[in-house]
Amino acid sequence: MAFAPFHDPSWEIWVHNSAAHVCPRVDRIFELHPKDFWMRPKHWKKDYAGWLKKCPVPIYMHDHYPEIPQSVRYPKERVLSEFRRYMSSQAAWMMALALTEGVTHLGFFGIHYAAKDERAWQRNGCEYWMGVCEGRGVQLVIPQGCPLLHEPKLLYGYENYKDGKQIGGTAPKGGSHDPAQFTIIDMKSSAARPALKTLPDGSEPAWDRSGHTIHK
């Protein structure tokens, strides 16, 4: 998250539902779970359904729900008519939608899928879709420390054999870091935090009005 370009208006910020409350700027939220899931309290937000109702930005969901004014029906049929039926995470649905909208650059900030259990197959799907995107000419921005498309570190067949035996790869210490692609932002320091994108009426974003809390 420290690398995310919240201050740069040329980036549109898309987030998972569980991450929106720690982001100072959000343009679209994805809550692609059934209604009986998002109606329940969450450990990060007890009144989660109430928070969704007050959210001021579009929320992609299974359907448009009258009780969630900003809810937008995710175009599942359109996406599945164009792409392979292989969706193991919200990130996969997000990338597929971005492709239908003609995206040229995608940044993966705070998406690691490094834990075990469900994260393992979610990561498989995420990396598959990253390949689909790159194959269509999309430039991928992978920040420092993100393991996506960086593990295993050793090149199979060329670097992972020694003395006739296969050796294990080692996890990278960090991904590529090109300062020209993104700026390091210390979101814990109000002094170092750049000014955020102003709203169309000239006012500054105020997530506290919608139940969001700026990460401190």
d(CA 189, CA 39): 34
Per the CB < 8 A criterion, the answer to whether 105 and 139 are in contact is yes
Between the alpha carbon of residue 97 and those of residues 13, 133, 138, 145, 169, the distances in Å are: 14, 11, 13, 26, 34
Residue 118: predicted pLDDT: 59
Q: Is the pLDDT of residue 210 over 60?
A: no
Residue 4: predicted pLDDT: 83
- Residue 15, exposed/middle/buried by CB under 10 A (0-12, 13-18, 19+)? buried
Rounded mean pLDDT, 28-36? 94
> Who has greater pLDDT, 205 or 142?
142
Q: Which of 200, 31, 7 is nearest to 109 (CA)?
A: 7
Residue 116: predicted pLDDT: 66
Render pLDDT for 37-96 as a digit per residue (tens, 0 to 9): 999 988 888 899 999 999 999 999 999 999 999 999 999 999 999 999 999 999 999 999
Residue 196: predicted pLDDT: 46
Residue 34: predicted pLDDT: 93
Residue 117: predicted pLDDT: 63
Contacts (Cβ under 8 Å, ≥6 apart) of 28: 12, 13, 14, 15, 57, 58, 59, 60
Residue 155: predicted pLDDT: 83
Percent of the chain that is helix, strand, coil (3-state, to 5): 25, 10, 65
Amino acid present at 38: W
pTM for this model (two decimals): 0.73
Render pLDDT for 90-131 as a digit per residue (tens, 0 to 9): 999 999 999 999 999 999 988 887 766 656 778 888 999 999
Which two structure tokens, joined as six digits, stand for 190? 């109000």
> Who has greater pLDDT, 101 or 206?
101
Per the CB < 8 A criterion, the answer to whether 54 and 42 are in contact is no
Residue 202's pLDDT band, with cuts at 50, 70 and 90, is: low
Residue 15, classed as helix, strand or coil, is: strand
Q: Are strands 165-166 and 161-162 parallel, antiparallel or unpaired?
A: antiparallel
Per the CB < 8 A criterion, the answer to whether 72 and 59 are in contact is yes
Residue burial 21-30, b: 16+ Cβ < 10 Å; e: rest: bbbbbbebbb
Amino acid present at 121: W
When the pLDDT of each residue in the chain is averaged and rounded to a whole number, the result is 78
Residue 41: predicted pLDDT: 86
Residue 152, preceding bond cis, omega within 30 degrees? yes
Residue holding tokens 């995470």?
89
